[in-house]
Amino acid sequence: MIRSRVNLFAGALVLSLPTLASADIYRHVGPDGVVHFTNNKGGQLVARDRKKPKVSPFMPQDVSLERFSRFDEHIRQAATLYQLPEELVRSVIMVESNYDPRAVSTAGAQGLMQLMPETAARMEVKDSFDPRENIFGGTRYLRILANLFNGDLELTIAAYNAGEGAVMRNGGIPPYAETQDYVVKVLTYYRRYRATRDSVAASVGAEPR
């Protein structure tokens, strides 16, 4: 894959990853006999995170052309607040949900920017199906990832799909076909949106391959 030289580290906006508020809790006894509790797997499971919802997938079904411009104001506001290109936010929305705020993946990701429930909680999103909340939460997460990976566009996109841990463990884009394909698609739409101000025309072109 050709490395993109676009840098997203705009301005001095600094955001860090909030700590996950809930998780499974494990108990283990150290060599010194001290009992430890942790959310890292291992030892005896003593408490289960019961906030994980049951998944009812909903594939994108909105086929109206209006959907490509329906959320313009929210996108502009979020991109401005978090100092990211509007085109990046649009591209992620396009690839994640095809601009359908009702979308739910088989893994449980929700809304326009397909936020997993735990990511939504970290980004302080209360309703992932609310377009404005979802866009602001997803854009905030992109900003955090851009900071984490020093503004590297491809790594930011890869981390949005596979998680920041996977990118750090692999020292780059993870060797997952899904993630590699995801990066190509988002970058393709990103370039289309940058090439024209007509978001509808850029969105309805042939699907990236």
CB atoms inside a 10 Å sphere around CB 152? 23
Given the residues 86, 87, 96, 133, the one annotated as active site: 96
Could you tell me how far CA 175 lies from the centroid of its own chain? 18
Q: How many residues does the chain have?
A: 209
- Token pair for 50: 């019961």
Find the Cα–Cα–Cα–Cα dihedral 57, 159, 88, 74, rounded to 10°.
Answer: 50
- Token pair for 129: 């199906």
Nearest to 123 by CA among 3, 15, 6: 15
Q: How far apart are CA 39 and CA 104, in angstroms?
A: 27
96 is catalytic: yes
Q: How far apart are CA 10 and CA 14, in angstroms?
A: 10
Q: State the catalytic residues.
A: 96
